[in-house]
Chain A
Amino acid sequence: DTEVTQTPKHLVMGMTNKKSLKCEQHMGHRAMYWYKQKAKKPPELMFVYSYEKLSINESVPSRFSPECPNSSLLNLHLHALQPEDSALYLCASSQDPALGWTQYFGPGTRLLVL
């Protein structure tokens, strides 16, 4: 299995809702990432998990809460989002970081906050 999968594909939520994005990989990768991407812009790093521990938080607002239950799964919990948080949320994974930084992206979740 050489894919990163994400669910849901699309999500519409109100500013008072709580929702979660899910990401899964079965490539044995030990680093997993959350990115936010706005239209016509590059992916913007949010969080990095390395060996299931949070290693990088790019000063992301607390209304975004990541979780890594095990080495194959990565969640992003959303609460009290703002309309400007509407974007494509991409998950990625890579092998042991010491071996290089090739990141493989999932298809993304397109989020709309009303």
Chain B
Amino acid sequence: GENVEQHPSTLSVQEGDSAVIKCTYSDSASNYFPWYKQELGKRPQLIIDIRSNVGEKKDQRIAVTLNKTAKHFSLHITETQPEDSAVYFCAASKTSYDKVIFGPGTSLSVIP
């Protein structure tokens, strides 16, 4: 079955710097890759997603890139702010009646 790895497990950056979180997946049939942010005690919230027919997607300070050949996808956060501090989960899935497989998570701390 699908396996999603995520690195690093913890990441600490200075406010204003960029943060990059990388994920790899094992099933080449996976075609949908969401990213969730989970603040302490809160629900996971979708922040951005990408489908396999697209190589890059941007939404303000957040961008996601996908390399289907290498089976890698990455989250980029620019101009980090303290409110970006949270656990970030990448995930992978295939279309229709299948499961979303989550990576183990990255705990991001943005130091003011």
Count of chain B residues with a beta carbon within 8 Å of a chain A beta carbon: 24
- The listed residue with most A CB atoms (<10 A of its CB), out of B36, B43, B46, is B43
A90–B43 Cα gap in the complex (Å)?
8
Residue A7 lies at the interface, judged by CB distance under 8 Å to chain B: no
Map CB proximity to B onto A75-103 as digits: 1 under 8 Å, 0 otherwise: 00000000000000010000001101111
Category for how many chain A residues contact B: 20 to 34
Map CB proximity to A onto B70-112 as digits: 1 under 8 Å, 0 otherwise: 0000000000000000010100010111111011110100000
Chain B residues with Cβ below 8 Å from A90 are: 43-44
The answer to whether B34 touches A102, judged by C-beta atoms less than 8 angstroms apart, is: yes
Residue A104 lies at the interface, judged by CB distance under 8 Å to chain B: yes
The answer to whether A103 touches B95, judged by C-beta atoms less than 8 angstroms apart, is: no
Q: Tell me, rounded to whole Å, the shortest Cβ–Cβ distance linking A92 to chain B.
A: 8
The residue from B51, B87, B100, B105 contacting A103, defined by CB atoms under 8 A apart: B100
Q: Tell me, rounded to whole Å, the shortest Cβ–Cβ distance linking B45 to chain A.
A: 7
The residue from A40, A42, A43, A98 contacting B96, defined by CB atoms under 8 A apart: A98
